[in-house]
Structure 1
Amino acid sequence: MNQGILGRIGMDSKMALGYIGVLFFMMGDGLEQGWLSPYLTSHGLTVEQSALLFSCYGFAVAIAAWLSGVLAEVLGPRKAMVIGLSMFVVGTLVFLIVGLPTMNLSVMIPTYALRGLGYPLFSYSFLVWLTYYSPAEKLGTAVGWFWFAFTGGLNVLGAYYSSFALPHLGEMKTLWSALIFVALGATIAIFLNKDDSNREKKFKSKQEAFLYLTKGITIAFERPKIGLGGIVRTINTAGAYGFVVFMPAYMMEIGFTRAEWLQIYGALWTSNIVFNLIFGIVGDKLGWRNTVMWFGGVGCAIFTAAFYYVPALLGPNYMASTLVAVCFGACLAGYVPLSALIPSLAPENRGAAMSILNMGAGLSTFLGPAIVGVFIGSTGTIGVIWIYTALYVVSAILMKFVNLPSSKEESQSTDLKAAL
């Protein structure tokens, strides 16, 4: 019975615990996202220094995200996830014990970056696991469930938990509590997940395994559509990750409280996790490329601009700003079909293809804050907003060139006509 219910919603029962584990792990990873930057600036750092910290963190995420795809094939998903867990725990311990109390950037940057190396190896290795396990006709829905769990933990439950925990625990204890969620998630996803089939790629020698690591870069040049997909994925969440650096201060200048901002931020990602599922299904029916192009690229461009202009024109109107955040979060989910489209362009090298996509996801955590650090001083908040808006338009244009082989295009075209 359970198998039938889970199957109808696109989730195999053997992988269900993995989704739950990712949700808890990412909740621990993301509980500080909506408030850490203003906390740092109120304790001695400048906005530019905070942006530097988040940019270095994002660069580490990008490296680990790239490695996750190929390491999942070389070592197997479980081992790659264990390595990610270890890095996250060590980085968190040193960051909290030494880095934050001293506000010493020379300690904070490498330890927060080590923390950043951990979560992609954990979560994106599970995503690679999914792309091999899930049948092609259900792949869009399967990755939609992954992004539902990933975003639900990282950006929704983490934000809402912080809004309630901070007044009672304070900032430091709230950060320490992250380790509880990470440990719980890792236990569920790594050790309790039921899929025990052997889907690991076998290599005859260390040299052969190393060569496959390089495939995670060279495939972007061998198959340019995959490289373009990586660029589009980089743009996808760049604006969202940049917002956490400067939007809290902007929204509080407008007149919102920190709790209201965290709730608006939480609403953004609550909408996103719902539409991760919706656009996973829509992408399977209406075409992966069209979904990314119109709902993702064009939609995000519109609501990125609205994120600035609605509060600027209406003031601290909680309902209006929340509505814009909900729409922006929904459009971010329009990029979900990329996780089905890109590995389908290289079915014999899904891990390498996913490495490019994962690296794009990681680079977005670098690019978003880096844009703030470079341009906030010269262009102000409005200039940064328009840079993000332009990037989303570019991503929509790039998707014109990221298409499946003709036979698969015809199959999706048939699905489109049937849906209409």
Structure 2
Amino acid sequence: MGTIETNQSKQFLGLPMTLIWGYVAVAIFMTGDGIEQAFLSKYIQQIGFSASQATTVLTSYGLVVAIASWLSGVLAEVFSPRRLMTFAFITWIVFHVGFLTLGLETHNYIMMIIMYSIRGIAYPMFIYSFVVWITYSAPPQRLASAMGWFWAMYSVGIGVLGSYLPSFTIPYIGFMGTLWGSIIFIAAGGLLAFFLVKDKEGEKKESDKLTTKEMFGEILRGVTILRNPQVAIACVIRIINQLSLFGLVAFMPAVFTDRFGFTTSQWLQIWGFMYIVTIFTNLFWGIVGDKIGWVKQIRWFGCIGMALSTLAFYYIPEWFGPNFWITCLVAIAFGFAVAAFVPMSAIFPTLEPEHKGAAVSIHNLSAGLSNFLGPGIATIVLMFGNALTTIWVYAIIYFIGFVLTFFMKVKQPSLQQ
């Protein structure tokens, strides 16, 4: 009780103040990690590789991200969030340097895949270890709000700064200079988390009191916990959550420029604007979800909202042409809808309160699979159809998620005033 009372007295709109520097660290780290998202596939093609080869590099990376996402929650519980975050940012730097020097600079396709894929271990272990840290430190009845702050900082990093910074740096230092510069943000975020986050919950680890057999058993619980049908349903819904977020960037930039008549800069600004919106909507939905009910919010504003806004990303430019401001309204709707899933981060540990790390691991695996399957769906559907077909596939999947929410039963902690 003492920990909860202390945390309740040191929070602002659900933000645990003892973790505030950790939230800042996530934003800075994800700035470095997200810098290449808008141009890497294009740059790989520019140096002589095919679109298919560029997609393979990103898909391999996404697969490793999914696996690392799954392991991160349990490993954070076994070794402590602070230790795993430290391991993650060092790993990121080492293999990013390998990716640049052994892969891109030498145009070595195999080394590009190997180094970039291994680098994919780092970012989920850094940010999702912090998710475990939040579940330890935030009051249960404020957990969705605390997660809302987390996703807001994530959006600041990967979406806003990560999307906009390259538009300023590439004209001056080029693609490679921008990629080298990302190391500064990774190092800053990692050191910030290591030295400035004073919350002692991040020091807690199970490894000192577990045998090797018990430690592996704890890690395996990250799979066996799926025998809980509610966790399994939540897993599927969390995968559905960000399919469009990761999928649209795989094919819509070309659709926007070649079919609808936007410039590449306009597309990047619209997509970046969507991420700006999510900074506020992540906070908004975190607080609102604690009030109106997590599942209800996900069902109506998340699943239905994403189905409609995903369709709008195609139909509005199709109907109105390259109208920047009207399309920005679609970006706003999309930003509201994708953030409505924020309570998913709170639902998993609530479903398995005795095994929070394992529950968070399944949440993270789901997020990683979303990262992997989002562009994967686009790749497969585009072999047989066109962009409009792909958009409708995403929309139908969100309607399936809507149906699944009626089978998800969560005992949401009441908000104590």
Determine if the TM-score, normalized by the shorter chain, exceeds 0.5: yes
How far 1:5 sits from its partner (Å)?
10
Which residue number in structure 2 is paired with residue 199 of structure 1?
204
> Which aligned segments of 4 or more residues in structure 1 are displaced greater than 4 angstroms?
3-6
Which residue number in structure 2 is paired with residue 93 of structure 1?
97
2:77 counterpart of 1:73 = yes
Which of 294, 300, 310 does residue 306 from structure 2 map onto? 300
How far 1:150 sits from its partner (Å)?
1.2
- How many angstroms apart in 1 are the aligned matches of 2:50 and 2:394? 22
How far 1:262 sits from its partner (Å)?
1.3
Number of aligned residue pairs: give it: 408
Name the TM-score, length of structure 1 as normaliser: 0.93
How far 1:39 sits from its partner (Å)?
2.7
Which residue number in structure 1 is paired with residue 3 of structure 2?
none
Contact 1:47-1:373 within 8 A present in 2 as well: no
- How many angstroms apart in 2 are the aligned matches of 1:217 and 1:131? 19
Which ranges of structure 2 fall in alignment gaps of 5 or more residues?
1-6
How far 1:177 sits from its partner (Å)?
0.8
Q: For residues 341-352 of structure 1, what are the structure 2 equivalents within 5 Å?
A: 341-352=347-358
RMSD across aligned C-alpha pairs, in angstroms? Answer: 1.9
Q: Which letter does structure 2 place at the counterpart of 1:206?
A: T
How far 1:130 sits from its partner (Å)?
0.5
- How many angstroms apart in 1 are the aligned matches of 2:394 and 2:62? 17
CA deviation string 1:189-218 (max 9, x = no partner): 122111124533353301101000000010
Secondary structure in 2 matching 1:125: helix
Contact 1:50-1:245 within 8 A present in 2 as well: no
2:373 counterpart of 1:373 = no
Distance 1:350-1:303 versus aligned 2 partners, 3 A rule: same
- How many angstroms apart in 1 are the aligned matches of 2:325 and 2:60? 34
Secondary structure in 1 matching 2:15: coil
- How many angstroms apart in 2 are the aligned matches of 1:249 and 1:229? 33
Contact 2:14-2:287 within 8 A present in 1 as well: no
Which residue number in structure 2 is paired with residue 291 of structure 1?
297
Contact 2:149-2:282 within 8 A present in 1 as well: yes
Which of 221, 226, 229 does residue 224 from structure 1 map onto? 229
Secondary structure in 1 matching 2:105: helix
2:361 counterpart of 1:340 = no
- State which drifts further: 305-314 or 6-15: 6-15
How far 1:148 sits from its partner (Å)?
0.7
- How many angstroms apart in 2 are the aligned matches of 1:224 and 1:136? 22
- How many angstroms apart in 2 are the aligned matches of 1:318 and 1:46? 30
Which residue number in structure 1 is paired with residue 158 of structure 2?
154
Contact 1:30-1:158 within 8 A present in 2 as well: yes
Q: For residues 48-59 of structure 1, what are the structure 2 equivalents within 5 Å?
A: 48-59=52-63
Which residue number in structure 1 is paired with residue 275 of structure 2?
269
- How many angstroms apart in 2 are the aligned matches of 1:318 and 1:289? 34
How far 1:383 sits from its partner (Å)?
1.6
Q: For residues 4-19 of structure 1, what are the structure 2 equivalents within 5 Å?
A: 7-19=11-23
How far 1:402 sits from its partner (Å)?
1.5
- How many angstroms apart in 1 are the aligned matches of 2:378 and 2:117? 18
Which of 7, 20, 41 does residue 24 from structure 2 map onto? 20
Contact 1:57-1:365 within 8 A present in 2 as well: no
- State which drifts further: 158-167 or 286-295: 158-167
- How many angstroms apart in 1 are the aligned matches of 2:164 and 2:10? 27
Contact 2:10-2:18 within 8 A present in 1 as well: no
Which residue number in structure 2 is paired with residue 134 of structure 1?
138
Distance 1:126-1:5 versus aligned 2 partners, 3 A rule: same
Distance 1:167-1:238 versus aligned 2 partners, 3 A rule: same
Contact 1:37-1:245 within 8 A present in 2 as well: no
Which residue number in structure 2 is paired with residue 359 of structure 1?
365
- State which drifts further: 98-107 or 350-359: 98-107
Q: Which letter does structure 2 place at the counterpart of 1:120?
A: P
Which of 307, 318, 329 does residue 323 from structure 1 map onto? 329
Contact 1:26-1:150 within 8 A present in 2 as well: yes
- How many angstroms apart in 1 are the aligned matches of 2:329 and 2:122? 33
Q: Which letter does structure 2 place at the counterpart of 1:371?
A: I
How far 1:52 sits from its partner (Å)?
2.0
Distance 1:308-1:40 versus aligned 2 partners, 3 A rule: farther
Q: Which letter does structure 2 place at the counterpart of 1:31?
A: I
Percent of aligned pairs with the same residue?
41
CA deviation string 1:20-56 (max 9, x = no partner): 0010000000011122223333433333332222211
- How many angstroms apart in 2 are the aligned matches of 1:378 and 1:105? 27
- How many angstroms apart in 2 are the aligned matches of 1:184 and 1:5? 29
